[in-house]
Amino acid sequence: MHFNLSKKKSQVSRWKRLSLALIILIGAWLSLSALYLPTKAYVAQYLIADAWEKTLNEGGHNKPWSWADTHPIAKLGFPSLQETLYVLAGANGRNMAFGPAHTLSSGMPGQPLSTVISAHRDSHFAPLKHLRKGDVIDIQTTTGQFQYRITELQIRDSRTQRIPIQRKDQLILTTCYPFDALTSGGPMRYQVTAERIPSAPQLASAF
């Protein structure tokens, strides 16, 4: 009887250890999964930066990695936040996993048409929540370097409000909202609108 009781206690203790090990493994897997996308997003920016420098030096469309179906088209800077990002061509979910992406139907800096750039709220465009009216945004393209000043910070409902592309040289940055939402894919958007600074035609040097 004593032997059976000891055996049962041993089995219970073994199952407890196995359960604890399983809980630890599941926790580790969930933690790594949560870190994977942000890590991938930020590491990708270094590869995109190299491709952008090659574009400036050699011209053409340079892929950040061999299987990419996009390429960098601009360098985006937020002086007030000391942040720099690289913008990819084509605002779709695949490209936005690696960085801010440009809506192809919108304009480019220096053109009389709104430039629209989108990114995820929990990675590259998380800093947008710290921007204020009057802050300056720098942007470099293959045609030059430009400055814009923020004039509007808005929360918009994508179900009823479209991004207002206008016939003017302005910059629109957009991301999902709220920034601290537990789930993604909601209808609300945070929009930063900035107007071209006419007194600064082109910056003299890269930022």
The mean per-residue pLDDT over the stretch 104-127 comes to 95
Backbone phi, psi, residue 121, to 5° = -70, -25
Residues 104, 38, 77, 144, CA torsion sign = negative
Structure tokens at 43: 């590491």
Q: Which pLDDT belongs to residue 198?
A: 85
User: 3-state DSSP call for residue 87?
Assistant: strand
CB–CB of 122/89 below 8 Å? no
Q: Which pLDDT belongs to residue 191?
A: 98
pLDDT over 70 at 49, yes or no: yes
Fold of 36-196: Sortase; Chain: A; (2.40.260)
Query: How does pLDDT run across 130-175, given as a tens digit for each residue?
Result: 999 999 999 999 999 999 999 999 999 999 999 999 999 999 999 9
Break the chain into its structural domains and give their ranges: 36-196
Stated length of the chain: 207
> Please, which pLDDT band fits residue 18 given cuts at 50, 70 and 90?
low
Q: For the residues of 154-180, what is the DSSP string, one character each? A: EEEETTT------SSSEEEEEEES-TT
At residue 194, what is the residue type? A
> Please, which pLDDT band fits residue 32 given cuts at 50, 70 and 90?
very low
The rounded distance, in Å, linking the Cα atoms of 62 and 53 is 9
> Please, which pLDDT band fits residue 29 given cuts at 50, 70 and 90?
very low
Chain-wide mean pLDDT for the chain?
Answer: 84
What is the H or E stretch that residue 94 is in? helix 93-96
Q: Is 191 exposed, middle or buried (0-12, 13-18, 19+ CB in 10 A)?
A: buried
pLDDT over 60 at 66, yes or no: yes
pLDDT over 70 at 54, yes or no: yes
